[in-house]
Structure formats: C-alpha cells, structure tokens
Amino acid sequence: MDTSNLTSLPEDTLEDNEQRAPQQPRPLSAFASRPDRPPTQTSSQKYSALDWKGFFDQEEDIRIPDSDDVFHVYTAGTEGPVVFCLHGGGYSGLSFALSASKIKEKARVVAMDLRGHGKSTTENENDLSVETMCNDVLAVVKAIYGDSPPAIVLVGHSMGGSVAVHIAAKRALSSLAGLVVVDVVEGTALASLIHMQKILSSRVHHFSSIEKAIEWSVRGGSLRNIESARMSVPTTLKYDDSKKCYIYRARLEETEQYWKSWYEGLSEKFLSCPVPKLLLLAGTDRLDRALTIGQMQGKFQMVVVRHTGHAIQEDVPDEFATLVTNFISRNRIGPRGVEGHIYFEFNNDQLLFRSSHDSRTPSAIPDQPLNQLGE
C-alpha cells in the first residue's frame, strides 16, 4: 500500500516546519528576547508504546481443552480475592493495565483478551454472542483455578460488563463475591446501537505506525490518558501485510447480529445478581426505571465519575483502582469469599437471609427463612 495517501496529522506538519526553519541569531540583550523554550518530545516519542511489564506481573496463554481456543491473560498481585477484568468491544486486557498496578497492592488481578481481541486466538473470531463469551470466561477461570477457584470479583467494561452481568445472573461462577459494571446501562446502550455502524465506519481504519494510532486515539477523544493509550492501543491493532499498514484487530462491524443481545434485559439481570454490586458511570447517565428503583432500594452502589470518557479505567486509572479496592474492603471480600456478612432479601414475600460466616460466597449460600435464624 502506498502510505503517501495516509492523512498526516497536524503535529507532523509542525515538526517538519520546525526542522526546516533556520535558526535565528541570539539577540545581544537578554531583555530583547523571550527565554528559550525547553526541548519538546517528537510525536513518535510522545506516543510511543509502553511495555505491559511495568504494570502487570506476567502474561500467559490459556489453552482450552478439546478446542483450538487460546486466551491471553495478564496477571498481577499475589494475595486477596481475584479481580477478574473483562474489557469492552475493540479494547483488550491491557485496558486495565494502569489500574491493575494499583489494585494489585490489595488484590490479585486477571485481565483476559476476549475472543477476537488482543492476543487471543479462537476458531470463530467473530462469534461475540454473549453465551459464547460467557463460556469463554468460565473456561478460562476453570483452566487457571480448577474446580476450587478463589473469591472472584468480576469487573466488566461496556461489552465486558454485559458478559460479567450474564455470568453473575446465571450464578454460573460458584466463587463469585462481587460485581463491578463500568459505564453500561441497558437503555442508553440499546439507543446507541443504531449509530454504531456509522461510528465504526467514520473512524480512521489505517495507520502507518503504532504511534499514529495512539496519537489518533488521544486526539480523537476516545482515550484521554496518554499513558494508558500508549499501553493499551498497540494490542488493539494488527499489521496488514497486503496493505502495509496497521488496522484494527477486532472486526466489530461484522458482529452486529450480537449487539442487541448484549444489552437486552441487562438491568433486571444486574439487579438479580446475588452478590454486592457497583455501577460506575462516566458523567450523568440516565438510569432506566428498574435501575432507579433498585438504587433507591439500596440494591447496588452507584458512582458517577466526573471528567472522564467511556473508558473510565483508562482515563482515571488511580480513581478507578481506588473505587474497586474500596468496594472490596467495604464488602469485606477476602480470598475465600465475603467475610462476616449477613444478606437479607425478599423472595415470594418471604424474608430470607444469607450468612457468610463459613466463608462461602453469597451465590453458594442457600437461602434460609428468617424464622430459622435461631435454629
């Protein structure tokens, strides 16, 4: 591909002009000129890729038995419950890199590349049905921890948030101890789907270098944190030998048939999840009726994170990490489950309780009528 047709960014022109401009003689009087400007970074330096090793402790390929599927995961930390991170569509596990470097001080972190994303390889890259992605996550958890996984807090951003909610609502993960959903609300998500193909088609699709892709993601506003963009953007790309340029790794425009199923019924499923729940929203997002009532009833905690874009975990990683670790501490989630809490809920007009003194997680604790408390 002739890369000369690729649109240059304004900074390129500025750099070229600065290099061509002749140096002016220094005035004799210090009062006749402004102070010298300190040296600035070139575009390639400012937007160069960062190594994940500065944030995660290790990476690993998880091979799923009886299939050709291999999922790439990044891990950090050695103690506490596992914060299992699921990225949004078009992102990768490294979307949580900067926040993982903080969370690992109080918990373990696992961030996987979902199918069709990052360094994971699967038989059907475009099968992004919520059922398939849920099965992928459960298969990875089993491959890593066997039949006795530690307490897990599922953290899902956007599409990954939908996957996390579906897993929790189905009670498919016996050791699930908490759920954190990042910037996805059913009503808003469904309403935005009619514009999604236009958004995907209008973005830049070809980059002459990884640095150009990082620069575009920041200048275009999709990411607001340069350091996080330098970390996460490279794994969202792949090099196309035929076009001699970088293109997006995930072919989201080819998965439209699954988009609606990610979000339909999400609010009710979220509220039905039998574990402590935290909903993080970027800006003032409108809750639908079910979530509004649920919040008023105290069924989940909600935090609106100001001055951030859609990718909260990337734009404000320190604040995101603090919110997650505070959620874990507030709900006393340890490596074996929720410690010393009693949960009350109504079921068919009967008040039930769940005790976690035996270190089992809420989803694994049988419901008991309130009149059995003294038995």
The per-residue pLDDT for range 109-152, each reduced to its tens digit, is 999 999 999 999 999 999 999 999 999 999 999 999 999 999 99
Distance CA 177, CA 103 (A): 16
Q: How confident is the model at residue 371 (pLDDT cuts 50, 70, 90)?
A: very low
Confirm if 239 and 212 have CB atoms less than 8 A apart.
Answer: no
Task: Please report the pLDDT score of residue 7 as a whole number.
Answer: 46
The one catalytic residue in 87, 183, 232, 267 is 183
| 48-76 confidence digits (pLDDT tens) | 999 999 899 999 999 999 999 999 999 99
Q: How far is CA 106 from CA 28, 55, 204, 313, in A?
A: 59, 14, 39, 17
Confirm if 134 and 261 have CB atoms less than 8 A apart.
Answer: no
The one catalytic residue in 95, 120, 158, 363 is 158
Distance CA 263, CA 190 (A): 6
Nearest to 176 by CA among 66, 272, 301: 272
Task: Please report the pLDDT score of residue 241 as a whole number.
Answer: 95
Task: Please report the pLDDT score of residue 287 as a whole number.
Answer: 83
Provide the 3-class DSSP secondary structure of residue 186: helix
Nearest to 336 by CA among 364, 315, 313: 364
Report which secondary-structure segment, H or E, holds 2.
none
What is the rounded average pLDDT of the residues 328-348? 75
Q: Could you confirm whether 174 is annotated as catalytic?
A: no
Report, at the CATH architecture level, how domain 53-331 is classified: 3-Layer(aba) Sandwich (3.40)
What is the rounded average pLDDT of the residues 253-281? 96
Q: Could you confirm whether 117 is annotated as catalytic?
A: no
Mean pLDDT estimate for the chain: 85
Q: Could you confirm whether 357 is annotated as catalytic?
A: no
The one catalytic residue in 87, 310, 315, 356 is 310
Interaxial angle between packed helices 130-145 and 256-263, expressed in degrees from 0 to 180 and rounded to the nearest 10: 70
Lowest mean pLDDT among 32-46, 54-68, 96-110: 32-46
Question: What pTM did the predictor assign?
Answer: 0.81
Q: How far is CA 218 from CA 47, 228, 232, in A?
A: 9, 10, 12
Task: Please report the pLDDT score of residue 127 as a whole number.
Answer: 97
